[in-house]
Amino acid sequence: MSAQQIIESVSKANLKSEIPVIGPGDTINVHVRIVEGDKERVQVFQGVVIVRKGRGVNEMITVRRVVDDIGIERKFPINSPMIAKFEVVRRGDARRAKLYYLRDRVGKSRRLRDRRRGMKHVDGSAPAAA
């Protein structure tokens, strides 16, 4: 086995099999498990995906939302067991991979158009293509 294969085999057990297709521009709900003592509850964080980077078990997404005119960005490891699930709320039309420009946008210009292009291939319920 090559080094790459060994490393992938180590982290294979941590990979989730059912992740919806998520790309930059999409508005998603992230269900985060929160453990308080011995109790566990789920908190939902809704926002726009502005970055998706990394590969395999290291894959991360950055989700941005604005509360009371204060931007909040949270990074989530996609394969973390602390995340119960992802839900796609809306598909946004993003023309680039990293939407850092949304940080400078104020008001209506912060919104993204609904995505129409290529929607045939993207169905929120389908599992991610391998």
Which residues of the chain form contacts with other proteins (CB under 8 A)?
1, 3, 6-7, 9-11, 14, 33, 35, 56-58, 77, 79-82
Q: Kindly tell me which of 46 and 58 has the beta carbon lying closer to other proteins.
A: 58
Q: Kindly tell me which of 83 and 112 has the beta carbon lying closer to other proteins.
A: 83
DSSP per position, 13-27: GG--S--B---TT-E
Tokens of 77: 């490891």
Q: What are phi and psi of 11, to 5 degrees?
A: -95, 0
The CB-of-116 to other proteins minimum distance in angstroms stands at 37
Distance CA 26, CA 93 (A): 8
The CB-of-110 to other proteins minimum distance in angstroms stands at 31
Q: Kindly tell me which of 20 and 77 has the beta carbon lying closer to other proteins.
A: 77
The CB-of-100 to other proteins minimum distance in angstroms stands at 24
Q: Kindly tell me which of 13 and 67 has the beta carbon lying closer to other proteins.
A: 13
Bridge partners for 19 per DSSP = none
> DSSP code of 97?
S
The CB-of-45 to other proteins minimum distance in angstroms stands at 16
DSSP3 helix / strand / coil % (the chain, rounded to 5):
20, 40, 40
